[in-house]
C-alpha cells in the first residue's frame, strides 16, 4: 500500500509540488497583513460577491432535473392512488345498491351478466349468461340495482333472452308512489316510456316515482320503473299524456338480477275468463 502511494507520488511529483507551492502561497497570502495584500483580498472578495449576485438567478440544471423527476414520479403515484380510490368508490356504491336489492324479502335472485344485445326497431332484447341450469325460467322478472329491466322470454341451459321494457309487447301495471294513481306503462319508441289510461283529473306531476303495482300479473309489486318526466293535456282526450324516464340505463346495462318468481297461472287463467 505504501509502495503504491510512493510510486504515485513519484509519478505525479510535478503536480504534487505545484499543489504544495499553491497551498503555501495561499497560506502566506492569508497571513500577510500588509496594506497592499489587504487591498487585493478586499477586491477579490468584492468581485466574488458581485459574480455570485449576478449569476445567482441561473438555476442549478441538474438539481432542477432531479427535482422534476421526483415530482413526476410522485405525481404518477398520486394519480394511480386517485384512480384506485375512484374505482373503489364506484364499486362500493354499486355493491351497496346490489346488497339493498338482495335485501328484498319477497323472493330470491339469480345474478347474471349481459353478454349480448339485440336492439331492433321495436323488439329490444338482451342475452344473459344464466339459464335453466341456474333456475331461470320463462316469465321471470329481470331487474338491475336501479329498477325493472324486463322479463325472461326464453331460456337454454346456460343462457336466457330478456325482453326489455323498450319492447312493443311489454305492458306493466304501474302506480305513482306519491299519489297512488294507477295506470299502464308501455313503450312507443325512443328512450322514454308512456303511462297511459290516466285521467286528466289525476294527481300526476313531473318528478313522481313510478313503481309496479299489485294489479300486474307478470311483475311483483313495488319495483321501481322510472320517474315522470313530463305531463300534457291532449285536447279532446280524457286522458293525460305522461312520459316516463326509465330508471334503468339500457345502453349501459351490464349486470342484472333475475327474480325467481313466476306469474300466478291460476290468476291469469281466472282473469282470462272475464276478458
For each of the domains in the chain, give its residue range(s) and CATH number, in order of start: 2-54 (no CATH), 109-167 (2.40.10.340), 171-249 (2.40.10.350)
> What does the pLDDT average to over 80-98?
69
Q: What pLDDT score was predicted for residue 105?
A: 47
The pLDDT tens digits for 117-157 are 998 777 899 999 999 999 999 999 999 888 999 999 999 99
| Percentage of residues of the chain with pLDDT beyond 70 | 62
187, three cell numbers: 313503450
How many CA atoms lie within 13 Å of 230's alpha carbon, on the beta-carbon side? 4
Of 46-50, 192-196, 216-220, give the range with the top mean pLDDT: 192-196
82 vs 111 pLDDT, higher one: 111
Indicate whether 242 pLDDT > 70.
Answer: yes
| Percentage of residues of the chain with pLDDT beyond 90 | 40
Dihedral Cα 72, 77, 81, 87, nearest 10 deg: 80
Indicate whether 270 pLDDT > 60.
Answer: no
> What does the pLDDT average to over 7-28?
64
Whether 222 contacts 211, CB under 8 Å: yes
Whether 173 contacts 212, CB under 8 Å: yes
Q: What pLDDT score was predicted for residue 98?
A: 63
> What does the pLDDT average to over 59-66?
63
Whether 157 contacts 132, CB under 8 Å: yes
The radius of gyration computed from the CA coordinates of the chain, to the nearest angstrom, equals: 41
Give DSSP secondary structure letters for 118-180. EE-SSEEEEEES--GGGT--TT-EEE-SSSEEEEEEEE-SS-EEEEEEEETT-EEEEEETTT-
Cα end-to-end span (Å), the chain: 114
Dihedral Cα 53, 56, 57, 60, nearest 10 deg: 170
Indicate whether 104 pLDDT > 80.
Answer: no
159, three cell numbers: 343462457
> What does the pLDDT average to over 105-113?
79
Which pLDDT band holds residue 3 (cuts at 50, 70, 90)?
A: low
The DSSP 8-state label assigned to residue 199 in this structure reads B
Please state the separation of Cα 183 from the chain's center in Å: 35
Amino acid at each position: 500500500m505504501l509502495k503504491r502511494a510512493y510510486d504515485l507520488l513519484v509519478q505525479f511529483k510535478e503536480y504534487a509540488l505545484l499543489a504544495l507551492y499553491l497551498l503555501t502561497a495561499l497560506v502566506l497570502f492569508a497571513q500577510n497583513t500588509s496594506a497592499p495584500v489587504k487591498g487585493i483580498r478586499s477586491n477579490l472578495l468584492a468581485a466574488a460577491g458581485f459574480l455570485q449576485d449576478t449569476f445567482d438567478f441561473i438555476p442549478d440544471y441538474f438539481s432542477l432535473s432531479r427535482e422534476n423527476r421526483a415530482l413526476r414520479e410522485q405525481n404518477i403515484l398520486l394519480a394511480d392512488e386517485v384512480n384506485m380510490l375512484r374505482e373503489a368508490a364506484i364499486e362500493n356504491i354499486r355493491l351497496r345498491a346490489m346488497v339493498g336489492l338482495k335485501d328484498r324479502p319477497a323472493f330470491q335472485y339469480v345474478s347474471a351478466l349481459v353478454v349480448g344485445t339485440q336492439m331492433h326497431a321495436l323488439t329490444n332484447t338482451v342475452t344473459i349468461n344464466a339459464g335453466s341450469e341456474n333456475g331461470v325460467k320463462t316469465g321471470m322478472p329481470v331487474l338491475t340495482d336501479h329498477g325493472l329491466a324486463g322479463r325472461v322470454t326464453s331460456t337454454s341451459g346456460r343462457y336466457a333472452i330478456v325482453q326489455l321494457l323498450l319492447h312493443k309487447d311489454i305492458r306493466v301495471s304501474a302506480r305513482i308512489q306519491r299519489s297512488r294513481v294507477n295506470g299502464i306503462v308501455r313503450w312507443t319508441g325512443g328512450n322514454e316510456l308512456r303511462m297511459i289510461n290516466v285521467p286528466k283529473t289525476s294527481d300526476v306531476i313531473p318528478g313522481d316515482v313510478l313503481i309496479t303495482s299489485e294489479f300486474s300479473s307478470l311483475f311483483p309489486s313495488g319495483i321501481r320503473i322510472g320517474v315522470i318526466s313530463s305531463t300534457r293535456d291532449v285536447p279532446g282526450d280524457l286522458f293525460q299524456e305522461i312520459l316516463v324516464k326509465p330508471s334503468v340505463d339500457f345502453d349501459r346495462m351490464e349486470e342484472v338480477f333475475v327474480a325467481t318468481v313466476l306469474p300466478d297461472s291460476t290468476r291469469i287463467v281466472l282473469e282470462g275468463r272475464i276478458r
